[in-house]
Structure 1
Amino acid sequence: MVKKLKFAVLGDPIEHSLSPEIHKEFAEQFELSITYERLKTTKNALSTTLNRLIKQKYTGVNITVPLKEDVFLFASQPKFEISDRAMISKSINTVSFNRCKFFADNTDGAGLVAAVSRLGIKDLAGKNILILGVGGATKGILEPLLRMKPKTIHLANRSLERLRKFRNQFTYKNLLFHDIQEFKGKSRNLPQIENGLDNFKFDVIVNATSLSLIGGDNLISNKWFEKCFLAIDLMYSKKPTSFMMQAMEQNVNVVIDGLPMLVEQAAESFSLWTGLKPETEHVHAVAKKLIEL
């Protein structure tokens, strides 16, 4: 009898997750028998849920918002090994239980790099990047983006306290930190936060906040898209997000949502769990159809 591998994705909210369908597509490529569940999990219930899944012999789990940083704390115990990229980001989206020592990783950055590579963009040498938001998603993508050799990466956030904590964690030379209000001409001009962006131009702008799903006021003024050739929203929905709409209205050459990254990071997770590298091109098409239902 073929063993059925058990997986799950943990988060809150979780109903919208496409991870079960994506991983079942991967499994079919190798004729693997799997189950993959969506498990609504609060921060308070995280440890109990993970320990239960370990006892129930799950092969592995994916982690989504708002739990990625909390799982890092859970994995900081002797029975876990943490990958270098997860250790740098202090944020985890993939846990494997099918080793002698449990393994925790973050595949978000690899997923983003693969998604960008699908566009024919292999590096960002000499480019200036703006990232909106400094939550767990940004922590996961930052180090892989730095390996693409940009000139600078600017990070903007509403909460200045969180921005300062992020700055203390990531001390790379070419990172600059900003009050997001500065991108709407309303800088609070606080110490230890860069100011004076009037003549700066960005080649790539990444939205790593969930605010684009809500709509409302734009996070930044239109002028920041003037020289931008690539706009990426890490969120995804049935229709283009407000951030994507703004970028398209400003004639940005390439505008994508987080769906390609989702598929590619899932492939990285699947490979980590099974040792098998799935083909993703067909799965991108499947995910796009699912989101349009």
Structure 2
Amino acid sequence: MKKFAVFGNPVAHSVSPTIHQMFARSCGEDIDYIKIEAPLDGFAKAIADFFEDKDAVGCNVTVPFKQQAYALATQLNQEARAAQAVNTLYKHPEGKLHGYNTDGIGLVADLLAHGAQLKGQKVLLIGAGGAARGVIHPLLAAGVSTLVITNRTQERAQEIVDSFQQEQLVSLTNQKLDKFTPDIIINSTSASLNQQLPSIQNVKFEQCQIAYDMVYGKAPTIFMEHAKQQGSSLALDGLGMLVEQAAAAFTIWTEKKPETRPVVTALREAL
């Protein structure tokens, strides 16, 4: 039986085993998928111990270990190199660990599933942490015309812009956002988890087709509600992104492409 795991600390809340078991059933795979809470100072050993099992194929990696997973991988996909973080590890038959970042792939897939037209669109990305960095390359690859990053600490946003060196990618202070009319607005911060809005006083939602919050919950997030009140046509949370990034990992491991929408629906009903 193929064995998989999700590594994090904490990790008890993870729904990854549920998602991947649903994928496996739909694709005719028999898998074992567990949660492993690695010690904060023992991630590398925990990974090595897991992959000592000849049946271990791959694993997902969540906070706070994505940068350590990036360092462990001997081969990286373009998204992982750009994000400098890995959320998916795959043990190649030759024995080397291949690292991938599927977060941005998941975001783009979920946006497309909801009818978004990304090519030629103006996108505002709120936040400059790891979640933001992980989605930049896939958004640029999807053909957005402009990707603006804004952050409470603007220096962090500019650091990301400088590291990517792409002319479509720029940073703007909150004060200058009133002159930018985005088609899509993405909140990569975790502010909604604390029932707070990020610094968006000057963000213009009037022409926004989709406002996307990367976090999710049983009810619409405070960011989603604000976006709708300010004129956004559609507001989405990050549950679909979670499932789509998992699907990309599942395909890397098994070469099978699972259906994602039934899984999103099932998870939504269970919230």
TM-score (norm 1): 0.85
Determine the C-alpha separation between the residues in 1 that align with 2:106 and 2:158.
27
Pick from 116, 125, 130 the counterpart of residue 111 of structure 2.
116
Determine the C-alpha separation between the residues in 1 that align with 2:137 and 2:93.
26
Determine the C-alpha separation between the residues in 2 that align with 1:167 and 1:117.
25
Q: Is the 8 A contact 1:110 1:264 kept in 2?
A: yes
Q: Is the 8 A contact 1:222 1:246 kept in 2?
A: no
Output aligned runs, 1:1-293, within 5 Å.
Answer: 4-57=1-54, 58-75=56-73, 80-100=74-94, 101-125=96-120, 127-179=121-173, 182=174, 185=175, 196-221=176-201, 224-290=204-270, 292=271
Determine the C-alpha separation between the residues in 1 that align with 2:82 and 2:226.
32
**Which amino acid letter does the alignment assign opposite residue 211 of structure 1?**
A
Task: Quote the residue 1:193 is aligned against.
Answer: none
Determine the C-alpha separation between the residues in 2 that align with 1:276 and 1:62.
17
Structure 2 gaps, min length 5: none
Determine the C-alpha separation between the residues in 2 that align with 1:200 and 1:84.
29
- Aligned length in residues: 269
Determine the C-alpha separation between the residues in 1 that align with 2:89 and 2:109.
20
CA deviation string 1:215-236 (max 9, x = no partner): 1355312752122111111111
Q: Is the 8 A contact 1:218 1:242 kept in 2?
A: no
| Identity fraction in percent | 36
Q: Is the 8 A contact 2:211 2:227 kept in 1?
A: yes
Q: Is the 8 A contact 2:122 2:145 kept in 1?
A: yes
Determine the C-alpha separation between the residues in 1 that align with 2:203 and 2:177.
11
TM-score (norm 2): 0.91
Task: Quote the residue 1:192 is aligned against.
Answer: none
RMSD of equivalent CA atoms: 1.9
| TM superposition shift of 1:47 | 1.1
| TM superposition shift of 1:173 | 0.6
